[in-house]
Amino acid sequence: MKSVLKEAVDHRRHEIDMDEAERLSRGNGRYLVASRALKAFESLNASFRTRMDCARKNPRFRRDIYDDLHFLLRVEHRIEDERDRKNVIRKIAELSASPDDCAAVSGS
């Protein structure tokens, strides 16, 4: 931050070196991809956890949830390899912390 601020005075507009800010932001581009991937994973995990909470009360829905997750990973997230999709689903099931969920993945 200090390298970007030319001048910072209380109660006045800060003077920012925009060229330096742009140069620094380009250097952090690789983190943007990782950050987006992490957010997508966290979103999938939260959605899965909510749906599995409902499925625990009604186990016949469990298979549909895994099928939907396979579809999302294949189509929206472009994970073509079925083994890779299963690995992601297995990790999500582990994070949901129910042994029944993990067992259901191995059969998918």
% pLDDT > 70, the chain = 73
Q: What is the pTM of this model?
A: 0.56
Torsions phi, psi for 81 (to 5 deg): -75, 120
Q: Which long-range contacts (CB under 8 A, 24 or more apart) does 100-103 make?
A: 100/56, 100/59, 101/52, 101/62
Mean pLDDT of the chain: 77
From CA 83, how far away is CA 49, in angstroms rounded? 21
* Residue 2 pLDDT > 80: no
Torsions phi, psi for 80 (to 5 deg): -75, -35
- pLDDT category of residue 73 using cuts at 50, 70 and 90: very high
* Pairwise pLDDT comparison (13 vs 80), residue with the higher score: 80
From CA 70, how far away is CA 47, in angstroms rounded? 13
All structural domains of the chain with their residue ranges: 5-106
